A and B are shown apart, each in its own frame.
Chain A
């Protein structure tokens, strides 16, 4: 028996409203393609450029618990801020981030990354210096590569020492598009 969209939606809304969801997710459209956005009660837990939910359910459960549920309501604050960001009306994100289960060094690097201002770039080496580990540029690169909350934690603003874009989990075109949106690339 087919469950109507309306009934399904009512259940999902009720689950989120009652706080019975460990991590809620939804697909959010953006100019750089569909994003899978996931949030827990602590904050934004994940943004993925691969928006196919089926491929992320286990990973999300490992972050916050087994009650993983598609729930537009759970990601509403993040969706609103992302929409504003892509429309050029927001330069800094206010949503909290959920960094649980990450190693202390990773958390330290991500916190430092969050301070890199809109429209500016830094390098892996500079970021390593800022966390007091000047020789750890490569480790910083690994943290950027595994950053589970890209865009909001702006790893697209971190480039190579010669200014080349180097790499990005969402692809170099996406990195370039984000930096162009922010006016960080000289024409």
Chain B
């Protein structure tokens, strides 16, 4: 039987990924907002951390949270029309297989689909990562899948 990868103590996880998270945020936001987003990213991760069921794909997980925080930050400060998903210029994380398929989805739906079907996270965990309710997370994943189905068929 496969042994689940143990969840590392948060300090080790944080030390391992913090530089990359800041780099991603700095590419999408100005210095000041990137620092706020950095804090928010890791606070969201802390909120969800106890509910993780295993320690796999943690890099993809934290980078997805960071992307969502960046999108939320831009949404708060930019007119709606400017809100395009930033190009994936940060090096593809581990969910490469799902990424091309989901590229055209709105950011929240894309994140929900990838976290649910790429990483098998629960809706509770996804809600926490996205900073939304569990219902909203379920709704986003379901709408995303419907949209993909329409596109494929």
Contact = CB atoms under 8 A, between A and B. Distances in A.
B72 to A, nearest CB: 17
B11 interface: yes
A1 B19 CA distance: 5
Give chain A's interface residue range (CB within 8 Å of chain B): 20 to 34
A21 B8 CA distance: 14
B43 interface: yes
Interface in B33-88: 35, 38-39, 42-43, 46-47, 49-50, 52
A53 B11 CA distance: 10
B116 interface: no
Given A11-B42, A20-B47, A21-B46, A57 B9 contact: yes
Nearest to A54: B12
A101 B144 CA distance: 44
Contact of B10 (A3, A14, A66): A66
Contacts of A69: 10-11, 14, 46
A58 B55 CA distance: 14
Nearest to B10: A67
A177 interface: no
A8 B47 CA distance: 18
B49 A67 contact: yes
Contacts of B9: 57-58, 60-61, 66, 68
B28 interface: no
Contacts of A21: 10, 46
A16 to B, nearest CB: 10
Given A61-B9, A67-B10, A11 B19 contact: no
Contacts, number: 61
B19 A66 contact: no
18 contacts: A1-B20, A2-B19, A3-B19, A7-B35, A7-B39, A8-B18, A11-B42, A15-B43, A57-B9, A58-B9, A61-B9, A66-B49, A67-B46, A68-B9, A68-B11, A69-B11, A69-B14, A69-B46
A146 B74 CA distance: 52
A10 B12 CA distance: 18
Interface string A1-37: 1110001101100110010111000000000000000
Contacts of A8: 18
A11 B35 CA distance: 10
Query: Which of A67, A68, A69 has the most B CB atoms < 10 Å from its CB?
Result: A67
Nearest to B23: A1
Interface string A44-76: 000000000100011011000111111000000
